[in-house]
Amino acid sequence: MTSEFFRIDDFLEQERQELVNQELWRSLREVQSAQSSRIIIDGKPYLNFSSNDYLGLANHPKVMQAAIEAIQKYGFGAGASRLICGSFKPHHELELEICDFKQTEAALSFSSGCATAVGTICSLLNKDDAIVLDRLSHACLIDAARMSGAKLCVFKHNDLSNLESILKRLRKSADSKRKILIVTESVFSMDGDIAPLKDIVELKEKYGAWLMVDEAHATGLFGVNRAGLIEELDLRERVEIQMGTLGKAIGSAGGFICGKKSLVEYLINRARSFVYSTAPPPCVAAAAKAGIEIIRSEEGKQRTATLWNLVNEFKQSLSEMDIDLSNVNSAIIPIILGSNERTLKASQFLSENGFFIPAIRFPTVPKNTARLRITISANHTPEDIRLLSLALKAALN
């Protein structure tokens, strides 16, 4: 009887085969050491060039100590959502620290960057509104846009004239009460290039839109106080919704929104991923606060300077190999090879030689743009960079 229906085992096997055939099958690797520029996977040591722990704070003694002290004081689990009885002192202290760091009125932390994007976008927009996204926006921003039910428009990556024509069309075809939200990253996660934020701000003002900027890969790296690209470009007063993650340069886990107090109070009431989710463990918030404190200190300044020196050295050696990096302006260096097969082979070769650099493929990046995504950390040494350049030269031959 039941044999004529689609069995889940058959479905899963069919899907697996399809991914394997396209060289898109992925699996987990167990890391047996701390997050660092050196890691151990399956008993073998690697130089790690794949982490977003740009400043080497994920296993910094002060970050770990802050978490340990918070565990001793508050235990581990938060026990309930923030609005019930899960809003602990470390959560509030973290949010004050974020405000101070980003120079905004208020901030709200979430359990992840993904939950931040979904909760925020879905609470602000509905089917009568429109959302205009850069084509290379992170998957969680795209999913959030879809889930909101708003009309979804995508502009060509960093293309201001395409963005303007979409805004013009949206304004012509609807009443002025329609909300239009523009969403972009400040540093793009898979390409390492930066958005023309100042021009985007001008366009959103011209067309009466709102702007949400995801600073996941810029927080801790850009600006005099290392608060992000918005700080560097002095746009704080002109961006309605600033987003970031606590799990990258900050070295902990979670995501946040910062901006006006009225925005944060609204999200506390309406962002479903905030309201209906158990609060992150207080120790995670304490670790994030410690990470931000390091970033803002003299040590943070030095770590960022070290990082940029390493990035520049690496870019220099790649330009000698005729790899075009003219758009790359961050600690993310993509080596775009195109085919999945070629990228997997290069990644495999590097792995055999002790370098951990995974092949990034569709759907993380568009089809035929498979790449090695190399990320540099302040914990790397100039010698690490030299060895990497040599290995890449051999891998790409």
The candidate with the shortest Cα–Cα distance to 145, out of 239, 216, 245, 212, is: 212
> Rounded to whole angstroms, how far apart are CA atoms 396 and 138?
28
252 binds ligand PLP (CB under 6 A): no
User: Closest distance between ligand PLP and the C-beta of residue 216, in Å?
Assistant: 4
Are 258 and 104 in contact by the 8 Å Cβ rule? The answer is yes
The verdict on whether 127 is a catalytic residue reads no
3-state secondary structure of 226: coil
134 binds ligand PLP (CB under 6 A): no
Specify the residue, 114 or 310, whose C-beta has the smaller distance to ligand PLP. Answer: 114
Specify the residue, 284 or 357, whose C-beta has the smaller distance to ligand PLP. Answer: 284
Specify the residue, 279 or 392, whose C-beta has the smaller distance to ligand PLP. Answer: 279
Give the one residue of 114, 130, 267, 310 binding ligand PLP; rule: CB under 6 A. Answer: 114
330 binds ligand PLP (CB under 6 A): no
- Of the residues 189, 252, 347, 351, only one is catalytic, namely 189
255 binds ligand PLP (CB under 6 A): yes
Token pair listed for 37: 């520029």
β-strand pairing of 210-214 with 180-185: parallel
User: Closest distance between ligand PLP and the C-beta of residue 133, in Å?
Assistant: 12
99 Rama class: left (phi>0) / alpha (psi -120 to 50) / beta: alpha
Size of the site for ligand PLP (CB under 6 A): 13
> Rounded to whole angstroms, how far apart are CA atoms 276 and 151?
26
User: Closest distance between ligand PLP and the C-beta of residue 113, in Å?
Assistant: 2
The verdict on whether 138 is a catalytic residue reads no
Q: Is the dihedral of CA 117, 296, 103, 311 positive or negative?
A: negative
Residues in 200-239 that interact with ligand PLP by CB under 6 A? 214, 216-217
Specify the residue, 151 or 217, whose C-beta has the smaller distance to ligand PLP. Answer: 217
The verdict on whether 217 is a catalytic residue reads yes
373 binds ligand PLP (CB under 6 A): no
The candidate with the shortest Cα–Cα distance to 58, out of 216, 309, 227, 246, is: 246
The candidate with the shortest Cα–Cα distance to 156, out of 168, 165, 147, is: 165
β-strand pairing of 130-134 with 180-185: parallel
Catalytic positions, written as ranges:
189, 217, 248
Report the interface residues with ligand PLP, using CB under 6 A.
Answer: 112-114, 138, 140, 185, 189, 214, 216-217, 245, 247, 255
